[in-house]
Amino acid sequence: MAKKLVLNEILIFEWDSGNIEKNREKHNIEPDECEKVFYDEPVFFYDEKHSQAEDRYVGYGITNNNRNLAVIFTLRSKKIRVISVRDQNRKERKVYYEST
């Protein structure tokens, strides 16, 4: 995760119904909570390890409820397509706080 990503435009989210259900059931995270991460001092990195078929990124941030989330996403036609979202692990929290 060496290259940092900066999103400067208005953010539009595109959700796949399967991913909404998966994130809701597996991680108890709703789309609107996930989207909050992108608006309050997020840190984004290019995810080289998982970027085979398409470029993938990971974003670390905090929700309005002070929940530290890790969001895996791709950019398609200037839209953010969330693949997965979950609570940050200890290492990810350290990266986030050292980067903000």
Tokens representing 85 are 């979202």
* pLDDT given at position 49: 87
Measured between alpha carbons, how far is 24 from 11 in angstroms, rounded to an integer?
22
The per-residue pLDDT for range 7-48, each reduced to its tens digit, is 766 689 999 999 999 999 999 999 999 999 988 889 999 998
Amino acid at 53: A
* pLDDT given at position 1: 46
The per-residue pLDDT for range 47-73, each reduced to its tens digit, is 988 888 899 999 999 999 899 999 999
Q: Nearest 5°: phi and psi at 14?
A: -125, 120
pLDDT value at 4 more than 80: no
Residue 33: exposure state from Cβ atoms within 10 A (0-12, 13-18, ≥19): middle
Whole-model pTM: value is 0.87
Task: Give the pLDDT band (50/70/90) at residue 83.
Answer: very high
* pLDDT given at position 60: 96
Residue of 10, 9, 90, 6 lying closest to 44 (CA atoms): 6
4-99 folds as Nuclear Transport Factor 2; Chain: A, (3.10.450)
